[in-house]
Amino acid sequence: MTSAGIDEVRTWILERHPERDSVTPDENLIENRLVDSLSFVELVYAIESASGVEIDFDNIDIQDFQTLSAIEKAFFVTA
């Protein structure tokens, strides 16, 4: 089961790639060019909007943004 927030992020990605109808949880968003250097900042803002958490650009770990699973674990799963 995924959180509503990660579904918002998935929708954000799919809106930018109308040729796609899905993104799997473990699909590498960067390697598969679903997120590039120009859209990365927009992705961060989409995550902030969906999670309600401000992301510190000075302490970004790119590993947290490579897959939807990683994004969900880093920004949507509460302990």
Check whether 15 has a pLDDT greater than 80.
yes
| Structural domains of the chain sorted by starting position, each given as residue range(s) with its CATH number in brackets | 4-76 (1.10.1200.10)
Question: What pLDDT band is residue 3 in, cutting at 50, 70 and 90?
Answer: confident
Site of tokens 């509503």: 4
**Contact (Cβ atoms closer than 8 angstroms) between residue 54 and residue 48:** yes
Cβ 17 vs Cβ 76: under 8 Å: no
pLDDT in tens, 16-69: 999 999 999 999 999 999 999 999 999 999 999 999 989 999 999 999 999 999
